[in-house]
């Protein structure tokens, strides 16, 4: 276990260094845009050059990157050139808002999708199975921005049941979270239910399940005592992949519904070429991906004792692709 965690943490550290360097290099290509966004599009060229010199952007790329890396490790994440505030003070409350939204989405998505997928897999070929399969295909075929438009058209403009924005300007409001949660869950429920259904069908055709049926065990007992643990191997992978996917998907949802979170902050930083804020967001995203991958591997070894920590290379990905087909 210690060797596994050490290996994963070293891999995470290497990933963070690689991501930070790539992002820093990508932003270097249009470094003058930083001065334009701060001083305005009608500022003179010499004003922009003076601003870049004043803030150290004229120094060599490697030197600026090493200085940023030293400050980042020591806890100084820089100052946002657009918001004129400390990056860490901007990032933490917005990240908490997104974690709230993502956590609620997972609480809704996981039990609903697993229940639908298991029931459809048990009753293969039934009306329920066909309905779940059809809805899964539909929900996974619609991109998130289109889902946001559809649900807004129905619940905001047609039925007039829900507010069209989730800015929380008057404090926390559960009603304002309904539409963002709906958009985030639609794709996740459909995809996870599809994977769970395929896994359930495969497990229910196994010899040990047929043996349990011949012994007179009820369907409920077979599912809970014999099938469920093996069924969950593929869905666990989907859930762990869904967590980092949420960080990218919330950009669309938060911008569309004016929700103030990590996604909308990254979107604003990207539009305004806010180097230090973009770097901090990239680091947070990389950490989330790395940690979820570690938890995914640990969950695999618990669900399937035949899988050891040493053999966890491409096992999870291969298993997931097998259930998609």
Kindly report, residue by residue over 4-42, the tens digit of the pLDDT.
778 878 888 888 888 888 888 877 767 777 777 777 777
* Whether 319 contacts 234, CB under 8 Å: yes
| 317 part of a folded domain | no
Dihedral angle, C-alpha 297, 300, 302, 306, nearest 10 °:
-120
Tell whether 96 is covered by a domain.
yes
Within a domain: 295: no
Domain total of the chain? 1
Beta bridge pairs of residue 79: 86
The alpha carbon of 287 is separated from its chain's Cα centroid by a whole number of angstroms, namely: 12
How confident is the model over 224-253, as pLDDT tens digits? 777 777 787 778 877 887 787 777 788 888
- Whether residue 55 is contained in a domain is answered as no
Q: What is the pLDDT of residues 257-314, one digit of tens each?
A: 888 888 888 888 888 888 888 888 888 888 888 888 888 777 777 766 666 656 555 4
Instruction: Determine the pLDDT at residue 307.
Output: 63
Which helix (H) or strand (E) covers residue 19, if one does?
helix 2-28
| Residue 235: exposure state from Cβ atoms within 10 A (0-12, 13-18, ≥19) | buried
pLDDT tens for 174-220 read 888 888 888 888 888 888 888 888 888 888 877 877 787 777 777 77
Residues 6+ away with beta carbon under 8 Å from 179 = 148, 151, 152, 155, 156, 162, 163, 164, 166, 257
For 182, the domain range is 87-261
76 in any annotated domain: no
What pLDDT is recorded for position 107?
Answer: 92
**Residue 224: CATH number of its domain:** 1.10.3720.10
**Structural domain contains residue 197:** yes
Q: How confident is the model at residue 112 (pLDDT cuts 50, 70, 90)?
A: very high
317 pLDDT band (50/70/90 cuts)? very low
Residue 196's pLDDT is what? 87
Q: How many CB atoms lie within 10 A of CB 214?
A: 8
Name the residue among 292, 268, 258 with its Cα closest to residue 91.
Answer: 268
Asked if the structure places residue 281 within a domain, the reply is: no
pTM of the predicted structure, to 2 decimals = 0.77
pLDDT computed for residue 325 by the predictor: 52
Q: Are 244 and 293 in contact (CB under 8 A)?
A: no
Q: Check pLDDT > 60 for residue 69.
A: yes
Considering the domain boundaries, does residue 252 fall inside one? yes
């Amino acid at each position: 276990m210690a060797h596994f965690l050490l290996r994963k943490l070293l891999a995470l550290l290497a990933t963070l260094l690689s991501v930070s360097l790539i992002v820093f290099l990508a932003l270097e290509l249009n470094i003058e845009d930083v001065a334009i966004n701060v001083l305005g599009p009608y500022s003179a060229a010499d004003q922009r050059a003076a601003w870049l010199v004043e803030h150290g952007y004229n120094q060599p790329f490697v030197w600026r990157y090493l200085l940023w890396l030293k400050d980042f490790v020591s806890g100084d994440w820089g100052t946002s050139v657009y918001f004129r505030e400390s990056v860490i003070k901007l990032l933490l409350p917005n990240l908490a808002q997104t974690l709230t939204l993502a956590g609620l989405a997972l609480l809704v998505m996981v039990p609903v999708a697993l229940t639908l997928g298991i029931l459809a897999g048990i009753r293969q070929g039934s009306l329920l199975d066909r309905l779940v399969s059809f809805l899964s295909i539909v929900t996974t075929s619609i991109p998130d921005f289109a889902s946001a438009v559809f649900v807004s058209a129905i619940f905001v403009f047609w039925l007039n049941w829900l507010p069209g924005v989730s800015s929380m300007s008057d404090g926390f409001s559960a009603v304002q979270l309904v539409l963002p949660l709906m958009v985030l869950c639609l794709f996740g429920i459909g995809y996870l239910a599809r994977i769970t259904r395929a896994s359930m069908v495969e497990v229910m055709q196994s010899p040990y399940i047929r043996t349990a049926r011949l012994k007179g065990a009820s369907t409920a007992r077979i599912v809970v005592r014999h099938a469920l643990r093996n069924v969950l191997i593929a869905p666990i992978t989907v859930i762990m992949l869904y967590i980092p996917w949420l960080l990218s998907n919330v950009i669309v949802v938060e911008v569309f519904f004016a929700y103030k979170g990590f996604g909308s902050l990254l979107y604003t930083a990207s539009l305004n070429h806010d180097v230090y804020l973009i770097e901090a967001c990239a680091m947070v995203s990389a950490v989330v991906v790395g940690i979820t991958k570690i938890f995914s591997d640990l969950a695999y070894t618990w669900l399937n004792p035949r899988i050891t920590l040493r053999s966890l290379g491409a096992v999870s990905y291969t298993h997931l692709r097998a259930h998609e087909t």
